[in-house]
Structures are given as structure tokens and as C-alpha cells.
């Protein structure tokens, strides 16, 4: 998506900026809200909770982006589509009145382009997520999530080895993959460690064989 469009939009408007600390929720699934939120700085996680209380993680977002889905433009309030929780020490977010946002979209061609790309990207991500979940098995699902963490937080340290510069637990990884059994995630991690694909250092993941991770990902 054209990131400069969103940058220009927030820089030319005096939107309030709110700050939330680590593990604080910005909103909850189903909660009425009258704002569109745009991440300025930090890392947030989106997730949904099933009726039986199981959590399914959707995405980490670590760069400027709209983080709340844009429902109809006529209602002042809309139900939040998912939970939004801060995962970094703190996060800063632009808070934009949703009715005003839609008025701005309707009169700004560049912003319309951004919103169209936003929806298109989210749709493709949802389709890909379904494919990876249904066709890839537990190993493939976890490798897919490791590859996503690499694209978001990977830092090359030496000899094509990559540090995931973000602390994430096995339980959280399982929640991205629809795996609710911590023992299942641990078994797959032990398998990947035994094969020399990953290692752990001070609770951080290091990917030693990125090509093996990619072999288990449906692109």
C-alpha cells in the first residue's frame, strides 16, 4: 500500500494521539466505538475470542497503518471487529472520528486509493491465512508464523541467521495457528531445534535455516 498517503493524511491534520502501555487493550471485539485508529508508533496485536473462550490471533502490526476495520460510513458508532492489544512497551495511535474519516475519504482521491488497497490487502491476507490453516498441517502453520515473524522482526546476525527481535511465547504462536495445546507447539519447536532449523537465545528465536522454514510455507 502507498504508505506516504497515510503519512500525509495524519501529518496535515491535528488528530489527537493516545498512548497505551504494554498488554493494555485499545478496544474489545463487539465493543461500540466511534473512532478509526491509526498506529503511529509501537507494536499491536489483533485477535478474536471464540464463544468457548479460545483466542485466535490475527496479526501483529508494527508500522503506521489503520488498525480498525472500516465499516459503513454513515453510523457514528460501529462494533469493533476484534481485540486490539499493545505488545510493545507502549504504543501511540492517532484517534480519528470515524464520520470525519469517511468524509475525508470521500473527498480525497489518494485516501480512497489507500482505503481500497487496505481492503484488498486484508482480503488477500484472509484468503492466504485460510489456505495455510486448512492445507498446511501443524508444522506448516507454525513455520508460516515463524516466517511472518521473520518478515516483521527479523534481523540478520551472521551467516544467513536471523534473530526474531521480538519476544513471543510458544503459546502466542499457537494462537496464530489455531493450536490450543501448548504441548503440540513445544513438540514442533523441539523438532525444529533438533533439525537445526531454529535455536533459542535468552527466550528469543533465532532462525538458522530460513530455507527450511520457507519449504514448509504455502506461498
Condensed to tens digits (0 to 9), the pLDDT of residues 76-109 reads: 666 777 899 999 999 999 999 988 999 999 999 9
pLDDT > 90: percent of the chain: 61
Q: Are both 68 and 146 inside the same structural domain?
A: no
Q: How confident is the model at residue 129 (pLDDT cuts 50, 70, 90)?
A: confident
- Nine cell digits for residue 18: 493516545
pLDDT reading at 74 higher than 60: no
The Cα-based distances of 75 to 15, 31, 38, 101 in angstroms read 20, 14, 19, 12
Q: Are both 82 and 167 inside the same structural domain?
A: no
pLDDT reading at 213 higher than 90: yes
pLDDT reading at 69 higher than 90: no
Q: How confident is the model at residue 190 (pLDDT cuts 50, 70, 90)?
A: very high
Q: How confident is the model at residue 75 (pLDDT cuts 50, 70, 90)?
A: low
Number of domains in the chain: 2
Q: Are both 23 and 100 inside the same structural domain?
A: yes
- Cα angle 32-36-42, degrees, rounded to a multiple of 5: 110
Task: Provide the 10 A C-beta neighbour count for residue 186.
Answer: 13
Query: Where do we find the cell 496535515?
Result: 12
pLDDT reading at 1 higher than 80: no
* More confident of the two residues 99 and 44: 44
Average model confidence (pLDDT) for the chain?
89
In a domain, 124, yes or no: no
Dihedral over Cα of 29, 35, 36, 39: its sign: negative
In a domain, 51, yes or no: yes
Q: Residue 126 has what pLDDT?
A: 84
In a domain, 97, yes or no: yes
Q: How confident is the model at residue 128 (pLDDT cuts 50, 70, 90)?
A: confident
**b/e code 12-42 from CB counts within 10 Å (16+ = b):** eeebeeeebeeeeebbeeeeebebbbbbbeb
Dihedral over Cα of 2, 126, 156, 87: its sign: positive
Q: Are both 146 and 192 inside the same structural domain?
A: yes
Q: Are both 84 and 156 inside the same structural domain?
A: no
* More confident of the two residues 206 and 134: 206
Mean pLDDT of 137-142: 90
Q: Residue 151 has what pLDDT?
A: 95
What range defines the domain where residue 165 resides?
A: 135-215
Amino acid at each position: 500500500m502507498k504508505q506516504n498517503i497515510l503519512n500525509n493524511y495524519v501529518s496535515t491534520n491535528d488528530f489527537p494521539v493516545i498512548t497505551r502501555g504494554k498488554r493494555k487493550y485499545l478496544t474489545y471485539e463487539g465493543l461500540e466505538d466511534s473512532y478509526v485508529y491509526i498506529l503511529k508508533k509501537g507494536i499491536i496485536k489483533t485477535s478474536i475470542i471464540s464463544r468457548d473462550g479460545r483466542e485466535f490471533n490475527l496479526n501483529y502490526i508494527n508500522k503506521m497503518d489503520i488498525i480498525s476495520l472500516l465499516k459503513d460510513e454513515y453510523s457514528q458508532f460501529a462494533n469493533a471487529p476484534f481485540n486490539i492489544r499493545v505488545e510493545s512497551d507502549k504504543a501511540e495511535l492517532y484517534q480519528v472520528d470515524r464520520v470525519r474519516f469517511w468524509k475525508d475519504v470521500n473527498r480525497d482521491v489518494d485516501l480512497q486509493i489507500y482505503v481500497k488497497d487496505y481492503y484488498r490487502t486484508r482480503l488477500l491476507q484472509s484468503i492466504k491465512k485460510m489456505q495455510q490453516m486448512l492445507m498446511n498441517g501443524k508444522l506448516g502453520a507454525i513455520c508460516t508464523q515463524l516466517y511472518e515473524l521473520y518478515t516483521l522482526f527479523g534481523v540478520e546476525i551472521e551467516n544467513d541467521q536471523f534473530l526474531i527481535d521480538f519476544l513471543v511465547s510458544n503459546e502466542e504462536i499457537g494462537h496464530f495457528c489455531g493450536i490450543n495445546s501448548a504441548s503440540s507447539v513445544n513438540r514442533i519447536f523441539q523438532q525444529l531445534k533438533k533439525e537445526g532449523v531454529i535455536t533459542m537465545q535468552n527466550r528469543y528465536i533465532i532462525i538458522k535455516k530460513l530455507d527450511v522454514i520457507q519449504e514448509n510455507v504455502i506461498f
